[in-house]
Structure 1
Amino acid sequence: MTVLDTRALNRATLARQLLLDRADMPVLDAVAHLGGLQAQEPQEPFIGLWSRVRAFDPTVLSGLLTGRQVVRTHLMRRTVHLLTSEDVLAWRARHDAMLRQRVLGVYRRELDGVDLDELAAVGRAVMADGEPRSMSELARAAEDRWPEPGKRALGEMLVAALIPMVQTPPRGLWRTKGGVRNVPLSSWLGREIDPPAQNGTDPVGEALVRRYLAAFGPAATADLRAWSGLAGLPAAVAAIREELVSFRDERGRELLDLPDAPRPDPDTPAPIRFLPAFDNAILGYHDRGRIIDDAHRNLSIAGARVVLVDGRVSATWTVEADTVVVAPLRRFSRAERAAVAEQGEELALFLSDNDNSNVRFAA
């Protein structure tokens, strides 16, 4: 079985994540290809798409949100993602059990004795008028029936697990601030989510495997689990295994992939890329060594914005006024420093539209 070293996996990841070459594709298609973008920080998806889509216009993404073609919702790993409406409708039921278990993992003691089906019914009754509500408002409606758990536990269970919700605009629009207001997915999109599969089949799981490998492969089943948060996908993998090709990494793990997916030459040059906080190019794997050194792994968990140099996390970046500030994690060559500065100036201009925007390196 062919062994793919770290550099080969890095170049494959960059190609799948649209980070090796910016893509000439519509924004909606980019969101779909990526299987969504992690989006608990509302402005970060704009940065992620700016780094991936050629001539990206942020107002297009805002228009997709207001036009209800993309939505912000809790899904993979119980985190807020920006996904196409079609994907959310197709995938949400497959994530139901995971979402419940993850909220219970945090609030099991507080929610002990709460009938979750009854809690869901209370929440749906409150939301029946279709008006967006905050998590606190929803929890307050259930607090008379269950005064002990507290608003946070009740609200998290309702919003993140029991009722498929979307976070409505202006939350998530370009350069717009807005609190989290929730509305049922069905009322926002005009139809219910797709029902769970019957007869022991898992077509949604199989589709998720294919979509994950298209955007993240080659990858191990542990990587797929880390991205999705779902524990039951090995059966889906087994069902489509004959469609897939296998490799090994340098640790001996089996890696699965789509046969015709891009696996560039490891010596392919990789451009400078600025990534937003919690970017799935890093978080979408159990073994993140293909893109970030173990010594810096905590940066992705902490939500640091990072810079890829030669395809690897080599710096962090922040914004001060109209200046992008880059803090290298290693010594840069003169050529690397110049390339980072050039791309940082373009990012600063994108973020502020100020001709005086610039970039500087932290001491």
Structure 2
Amino acid sequence: MDGKDGTVAQVLRRRELGRALLARQWLLERAEATAEETVTRLVGMQAQAPYAPYFGLWSRLRKFGTADLADALTERRLVRVALMRSTIHLVTTADYRSLRPWAQPALDRELDTAFKTILTGLDRAAVAESGRALLGARHLTPKELRAALHERWPDREPRALATVVRNLVPLVQVPPRAVWGVGGTTRYATAADWTGAEPAPAADSEHIVLRYLAAFGPASVTDVQTWAGRTRLRPVLERLRPQLAVFHDERGIELFDLPDAPRPGADAHAPVRFLPEYDNLLASHADRTRVISEQDRKRVMTRNGMRATFLVDGQVTGAWKLHLGKASATLEIDPFRPLATTERAEVEAEGARLLEFAAPGTDHDVRSGRATFIGREDAVTGEETDRQ
């Protein structure tokens, strides 16, 4: 297929795109890296299920223990804050500063759509400043923040008021929330107070798109927009075009990539990997068929969220759920198709390693069954997921 400069662009088939994505996500081969290095490479990890990133990091790193992430949270090196697609992401404190202005259009659009009628005539800036002052005095739970704002604006819906603060004032969910083995109620602090730094004054869009391609490419304009939760990003890709490699997929859609990024062949070995709920591998492209079929995507995406999944030969092949008890732990797997004997053995072996990571020193069991998604709770811990 001809590119815009008259050259013939290489066609990348679905399986090749999948292998490229898995290589960059460190899901073909686990990496020697720290939790912070990995979160940086991935441009953040979706994290409204509080413990989900622990499993996402375990699946990508050769050496990772729960304390590695727990310590980074308590020491304020990593934070959980609303970013891309107006969802909670785990990021480094440096990336909170650069990514928040990039994500702001999505946060603004949420207020203008989901809360448009409720917020009509409201001085949003005044609500934001009131929330900033309240959180400057002490850390508040969502319920406490809603109640305090409602006292000043009694004619307004409390949840909408709190969302104005969340979307206009970067808020960090402070530990012990999301600290492995401790957990606790969601409490907010302003990100500026918690990290000691305000967001950057403006987003470096070109730099962020290059980082996205490094972690998720090759990708189309609509893929980038899906990941960001933003529209009208084609001009950014056009400015970058001279320094990018350009391909097409099997449908003729133009794909952009970093010239030297890994693009292993379709026959590259893809081992079994377990992904947590909301993993960005499944949320960062308009066309997700490189790693999940449309039929299976409908099984994974529920009314309340995204199930934890496992990959076989580079494709989502089933869901999983972990049941943790005081003296035992059971991994329940739900294959979406019959598994060959060798595939089942590999799934069970990787599942046994996951159990050893999550529940060392207890009795372990891997069972095949229906891994039912449990509403708005973290399927690993039973904790409620963090929408706000």
- TM-score, length-scaled by structure 2: 0.89
Mapped contact 1:43–1:175 kept (Cα < 8 A): no
- Please tell me whether residue 78 in structure 1 is matched to residue 86 in structure 2: yes
Deviation at 1:355, TM superposition (A): 4.4
Who is 1:293 aligned against?
293
Within-5 A mapping of 1:312-351:
312-321=315-324, 322-351=329-358
Q: Which moved more, 1:204-213 or 1:347-356?
A: 347-356
- Following the alignment from structure 1 to structure 2, what is the Cα–Cα distance between the partners of residues 177 and 128? 23
Deviations 1:33-62 (A, max 9, x none): 001111000000000000001121110111
- Following the alignment from structure 2 to structure 1, what is the Cα–Cα distance between the partners of residues 188 and 47? 15
Closer, same or farther: CA 315–121 of 1 in aligned 2, 3 Å? same
3-state SS, counterpart of residue 133 of structure 2: helix
Q: Given residue 248 of structure 2, which amino acid in structure 1 is its aligned partner?
A: R
Mapped contact 1:282–1:300 kept (Cα < 8 A): no
Q: Which moved more, 1:77-86 or 1:105-114?
A: 105-114
Who is 1:190 aligned against?
196
Closer, same or farther: CA 300–224 of 1 in aligned 2, 3 Å? farther
Deviation at 1:339, TM superposition (A): 0.5
Q: Which moved more, 1:214-223 or 1:234-243?
A: 234-243
Instruction: Pick the aligned partner of 1:154 from 150, 156, 161.
Output: 161
Who is 2:4 aligned against?
none
Q: Given residue 62 of structure 1, which amino acid in structure 2 is its aligned partner?
A: A
3-state SS, counterpart of residue 186 of structure 1: helix
- Following the alignment from structure 1 to structure 2, what is the Cα–Cα distance between the partners of residues 258 and 239? 14
- Please tell me whether residue 360 in structure 1 is matched to residue 367 in structure 2: yes
Deviations 1:284-329 (A, max 9, x none): 1110000001111123422211110000011111123411111111
Mapped contact 1:344–1:358 kept (Cα < 8 A): no
Q: Given residue 42 of structure 2, which amino acid in structure 1 is its aligned partner?
A: L
Who is 1:199 aligned against?
none
3-state SS, counterpart of residue 126 of structure 1: helix
Q: Which moved more, 1:351-360 or 1:212-221?
A: 351-360
Q: Given residue 168 of structure 2, which amino acid in structure 1 is its aligned partner?
A: L
Deviation at 1:139, TM superposition (A): 2.4
Mapped contact 1:277–1:300 kept (Cα < 8 A): no
Mapped contact 1:327–1:361 kept (Cα < 8 A): yes
Instruction: Pick the aligned partner of 2:69 from 61, 67, 72.
Output: 61
Within-5 A mapping of 1:1-363:
1-129=9-137, 131-159=138-166, 161-196=167-202, 204-302=204-302, 303-321=306-324, 322-362=329-369
- Following the alignment from structure 1 to structure 2, what is the Cα–Cα distance between the partners of residues 341 and 114? 55
Root mean square deviation of aligned Cα:
1.4
Closer, same or farther: CA 350–156 of 1 in aligned 2, 3 Å? same
Mapped contact 2:225–2:231 kept (Cα < 8 A): yes
- Following the alignment from structure 1 to structure 2, what is the Cα–Cα distance between the partners of residues 258 and 300? 30
Mapped contact 1:11–1:263 kept (Cα < 8 A): yes
3-state SS, counterpart of residue 345 of structure 1: helix
Q: Given residue 261 of structure 1, which amino acid in structure 2 is its aligned partner?
A: A
Mapped contact 1:133–1:182 kept (Cα < 8 A): yes
Q: Given residue 60 of structure 2, which amino acid in structure 1 is its aligned partner?
A: R
Q: Given residue 173 of structure 1, which amino acid in structure 2 is its aligned partner?
A: V
Deviations 1:250-295 (A, max 9, x none): 1111010000000001101100001001111111111000000111
Mapped contact 1:36–1:82 kept (Cα < 8 A): yes
- Following the alignment from structure 1 to structure 2, what is the Cα–Cα distance between the partners of residues 87 and 140? 31
Mapped contact 1:143–1:150 kept (Cα < 8 A): yes
Q: Given residue 258 of structure 1, which amino acid in structure 2 is its aligned partner?
A: L
Deviations 1:87-138 (A, max 9, x none): 1111212322320211332111111111111111211222233x21122222
- Across the two proteins, how many residue pairs are aligned to each other? 355
Structure 1 outlier segments of 4+, above 4 Å: none
Mapped contact 2:85–2:103 kept (Cα < 8 A): no
Deviations 1:199-243 (A, max 9, x none): xxxx61111110100000001111111111122422222221111
Relative to its length, the structure with more helix (as a share) is 1
Q: What are the ranges of 5 or more consecutive residues in structure 2 without an aligned counterpart?
A: 1-8, 371-388
3-state SS, counterpart of residue 120 of structure 2: coil
Q: Given residue 214 of structure 2, which amino acid in structure 1 is its aligned partner?
A: A
- Following the alignment from structure 2 to structure 1, what is the Cα–Cα distance between the partners of residues 67 and 289? 35
- TM-score, length-scaled by structure 1: 0.95
